[in-house]
Amino acid sequence: MTGKNKIILIDKNGKEKIREATVQQKGNDKRMFSFTSPASQAGISVLSLPDDVMYLYLPAFGKERRIATSAKNHKMQMSDVKYDQGLTDDDFTVRKLKQ
């Protein structure tokens, strides 16, 4: 399964920042979440594997790093989404955007 996401971050002053990402999922326990825009975020990826194993890839360093179990409940990319949170429609309020 693959999909595209648009994430709108709204700060306390109402200013919006938009992030776009793709999600690829294989079965119920393997998922790759990759930012595609803006350019400053493009390529940042989180890989979620069975047995609570997660990796973060930062293209600026050209390396992947395993996410420690203690860090999985920290917020990702200045958002309210946490690394260990499933990215499903049940977790978010979905709002239809103008095309």
**Are 25 and 1 in contact, with CB atoms under 8 Å apart?**
yes
In tens, the pLDDT along 64-88 reads 999 877 655 555 544 455 544 444 4
pTM for the whole structure: 0.64
Q: Where are the domains of the chain?
A: 2-70
- Pick from 11-20, 50-59, 62-71: least confident: 62-71
Classified as helix, coil or strand, 6 is strand
End-to-end CA distance of the chain: 24
